[in-house]
């Protein structure tokens, strides 16, 4: 009884930690495939998704989970994320239980095996490569499948110890449910066969069914599943197609799998984006294996356990043999979720039987802290992507009265976090109806890498967008005879030229700062700052949460104690000044506050209180014709860090011209 309470305590600790580190994304909005999947179950019910010959996958249990979520939560993403988080905590607990049993079979002492197993569960819980599976609702397929896969494996291991038929039947049932969740679960019979061979080498346990009968039972379940799957989707391969799954180029397979193994433990970053990092990681792993083998050469039980764990890791790697995981961002990380179970158990087992317990604890604590920080940091991109998804769709709804809406750069993903690579039509249809969807034209999509610069301009019949970092891709036109053409296209920008003048109720829009903004032709605006002039039509500066920005020519220019801003336009009615102070100097002494007076056309000045590093904004009303905005520092001065006592002033980080 005491041990059962202890295990419940461990599970609750895993669940609490899982909730804590995933709080930033627990209400994150739907992304990409989420819209398609939810719309499908909403329209067609629990059997309307992944259960027809038009579907490449056969995953009815995932469809059932989404159907239940939709009927409980509707379009509130909170409940969807809550279920995924609970299942991930459950998987971490199952990893702990399985590792404890396998480590015990490898000859580890009871206390050592529980400690090492707890480290396994903790690492699995906060592994950075799990962010796509947890933060993206559509990524739950791997989480759900792994719950049943690990439950099947655990009950199988219990059966091997107890020979109770009920435990064996529970394992077979869980295996069937895993198969109905995701295809890689079909590797379990190979895992069972490997364990039977390992157990035959001296593993103790109660006598039960023979290895052949046990393996045949799992193979029979797999065979029934394959037959059912073929009858439903009409093909044996399915998935991403024969071209992907049967791509057997040996060089590709080698490099792809080296990268996959490395990415289990290392987050996607540009620094890891070379094959030599994979080789270096493989070399370190080989050295660890050799050190373990040398130190445990006389302990056949430990060598056998390490061999089985290695076999299990490679077996779970087979289903993703041809599927790529990005070196640089989270795209494809969900494929690593299930294989990571055995890679983690293997590495922890090797370390636990090579170094002292004290060093193991120190190493584990260090890695857990690092992984927790990386996991939370990785979730931030998913939070931002979810917020942008919600805001962009909200802006689309605000423009629902338009006769036609052209979108220049619909974002597909943000640093690898999916946004609208799929699902935008489903989202618009589900939220606002098919009538609005028929009036929207997507001109191009954009892969967003932060921070990113967006420049736009417009005149009567031409609208230009520039993205120096690249990432633009033309979208397929749904118009049989479009009234526009794309001029001077490149991944860095293009001009959208119309064959007619747009009507008053038609708009061109672009995405910047995570919002959809209309781009209407604007009159020329002349801006003069400290004697320097910037001319353009409808100048805009958009600074979002760490991504997307258009920085006018005068970005970062400093002013002295006074400056003027000249604006000449008949249509401009307002400007918004956004000021971010640097160091301040008051009476020769560095300070952190000051006052700036702003006067428009000789009117009484308005004071702006400035504080170092804190943005301040002021919206100014203009009159038709010429306007003069005078700025004067009356208390405090700003310095660029060179120690001058009466020096440069406010940096204009943004000037928004509001029509």
Query: Which CATH number is correct for 523-659, 1.10.3470, 2.60.120, 2.40.128, 1.10.150?
Result: 2.60.120
> Residue 482 pLDDT more than 60?
yes
Cis peptide before 451 (omega within 30 of 0): yes
- The pair phi, psi for residue 149, each rounded to 5°, is -60, -50
Helix, strand, coil percentages, rounded to 5, for the chain: 50, 20, 30
Give me the residue label for tokens 């604890």: 361
**What is the secondary structure of 60-96 as a DSSP string?**
HHHHHHHHHHHHHHTT-HHHHHHHHHHHHHHHHHHHH
H/E stretch holding 532: strand 532-537
CB 179 within 8 A of CB 186: yes
Higher local confidence (pLDDT), 113 or 480: 113
**Residues 115, 119, 125, CA angle at the centre, nearest 5°?**
145
**pLDDT band at 364, cuts 50/70/90?**
very high
Task: Extract the runs of DSSP E, i.e. beta strands, from 601-640.
Answer: 606-611, 616-621, 625-635, 637-639
pLDDT one-digit tens code per residue, 189-209: 999 999 988 877 655 555 556
Q: What is the pTM of this model?
A: 0.78
Counting runs of H as helices and runs of E as strands, what totals does the chain give? Answer: 18, 24
The contacts of residue 572 (CB under 8 Å, 6+ apart) are: 523, 525, 622, 657, 658, 659
User: Sign of dihedral through CA atoms 292, 297, 300, 304?
Assistant: positive
Chain centre to alpha carbon of residue 556: 32
Helical (H) or strand (E) element with 111: helix 110-126
Strand 410-414: give its sheet, edge to edge.
417-418, 410-414, 444-448, 472-474
- In Å, what is the CA distance from 482 to each residue of 236, 477, 488, 497? 40, 8, 17, 11
* Two structure tokens written together for 404: 């036609």
Instruction: Note the residue count of the chain.
Output: 659
Per-residue pLDDT tens digits for 582-591: 544 444 445 5
Residue intervals of the chain classified under CATH 2.60.120 are 523-659
pLDDT of residue 255: 83
Ordered DSSP codes for 129-154: GGHHHHHSGGGHHHHHHHHHHHHHHH
Among the residue ranges 24-33, 231-240, 391-400, the one predicted with the least confidence is: 231-240
Q: How far is CA 93 from the centre of its chain?
A: 24
Q: Listing from the earlier edge strand, what are the strands of the sheet with 637-639?
A: 589-591, 583-586, 637-639
User: What's the confidence (pLDDT) of residue 222?
Assistant: 94
Find tokens 């030229």 and name the residue: 497
Q: Using the predicted structure, report yes or no on whether residue 556 has a pLDDT greater than 80.
A: no
pLDDT in tens, 70-100: 999 999 999 999 999 999 999 999 999 999 9
């Amino acid at each position: 009884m005491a041990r059962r309470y202890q295990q419940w305590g461990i599970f609750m600790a895993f669940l609490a930690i899982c909730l804590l580190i995933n709080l930033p994304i627990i209400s994150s909005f739907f992304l990409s495939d989420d819209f398609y999947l939810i719309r499908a179950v909403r329209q067609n019910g629990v059997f309307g998704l992944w259960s027809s010959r038009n579907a490449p996958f056969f995953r009815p249990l995932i469809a059932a989970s989404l159907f239940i979520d939709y009927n409980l939560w509707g379009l509130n993403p909170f409940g969807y994320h809550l279920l995924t988080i609970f299942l991930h905590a459950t998987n971490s607990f199952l990893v702990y239980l399985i590792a404890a049993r396998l480590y015990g079979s490898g000859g580890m002492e009871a206390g050592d095996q529980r400690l090492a197993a707890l480290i396994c569960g903790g690492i699995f819980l906060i592994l950075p490569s799990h962010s796509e599976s947890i933060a993206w609702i559509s990524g739950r397929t791997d989480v759900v499948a792994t719950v049943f896969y690990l439950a099947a494996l655990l009950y199988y291991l219990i059966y091997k110890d107890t020979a109770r038929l009920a435990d064996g039947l529970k394992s077979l049932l869980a295996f069937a449910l895993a198969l109905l969740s995701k295809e890689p679960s079909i590797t379990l019979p190979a895992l069972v066969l490997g364990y039977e061979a390992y157990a035959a080498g001296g593993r103790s346990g109660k006598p039960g069914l023979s290895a052949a009968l046990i393996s045949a039972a799992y193979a029979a379940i797999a065979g029934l599943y394959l037959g059912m799957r073929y009858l439903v989707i009409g093909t044996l391969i399915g998935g991403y197609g024969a071209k992907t799954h049967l791509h057997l180029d040996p060089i590709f397979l080698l490099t792809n799998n080296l990268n996959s193994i490395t990415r289990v433990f290392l987050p996607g970053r540009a620094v890891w984006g070379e094959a030599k990092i994979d080789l270096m990681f493989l070399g370190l792993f080989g050295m660890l294996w050799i050190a373990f083998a040398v130190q445990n050469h006389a302990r056949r039980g430990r060598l056998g356990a390490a061999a089985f764990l290695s076999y299990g890791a490679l077996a779970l790697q087979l289903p993703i043999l041809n599927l790529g995981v990005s070196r640089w961002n989270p795209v494809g990380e969900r494929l690593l979720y299930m294989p990571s179970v055995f890679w983690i158990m293997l590495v922890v087992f090797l370390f636990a039987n090579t170094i002292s317990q004290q060093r193991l604890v120190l190493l584990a604590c260090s890695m857990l802290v690092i992984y927790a920080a990386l996991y939370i940091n990785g979730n931030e991109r998913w939070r931002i992507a979810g917020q942008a998804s919600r805001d962009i769709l909200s802006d689309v709804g605000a423009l629902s009265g338009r006769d036609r809406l052209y979108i220049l750069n619909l974002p597909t993903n943000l640093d690898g976090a999916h946004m609208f690579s799929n699902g935008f039509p489903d989202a618009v249809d589900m939220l606002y109806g098919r009538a609005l969807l028929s009036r929207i034209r997507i001109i191009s999509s954009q892969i967003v890498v932060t921070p990113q610069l967006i420049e736009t301009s417009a005149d009567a019949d031409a609208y230009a967008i520039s993205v120096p970092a690249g990432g633009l891709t033309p979208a397929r036109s749904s118009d049989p005879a479009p009234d526009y053409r794309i001029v001077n296209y490149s991944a860095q920008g293009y001009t959208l030229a119309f064959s007619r003048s747009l009507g008053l109720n038609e708009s061109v829009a672009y995405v910047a700062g995570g919002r959809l903004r209309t781009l209407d032709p604007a009159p020329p605006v002349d801006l003069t700052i400290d004697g320097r002039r910037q001319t353009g039509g409808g100048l805009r500066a958009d600074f979002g949460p760490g991504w997307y920005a258009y920085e006018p020519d005068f970005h970062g220019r400093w002013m002295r104690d006074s400056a003027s801003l000249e604006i000449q336009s008949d249509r401009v009615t307002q400007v918004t000044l956004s000021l971010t102070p640097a160091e301040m100097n008051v009476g020769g002494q560095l300070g952190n506050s000051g006052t700036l007076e702003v006067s428009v056309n000789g009117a009484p000045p308005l004071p702006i209180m400035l504080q170092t590093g804190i943005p301040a904004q002021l919206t100014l009303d203009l009159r038709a014709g010429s306007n003069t905005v005078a700025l004067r520092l009356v208390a405090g001065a700003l310095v660029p860090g060179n120690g001058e006592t009466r020096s440069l002033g406010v940096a204009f980080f943004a000037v928004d011209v509001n029509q």
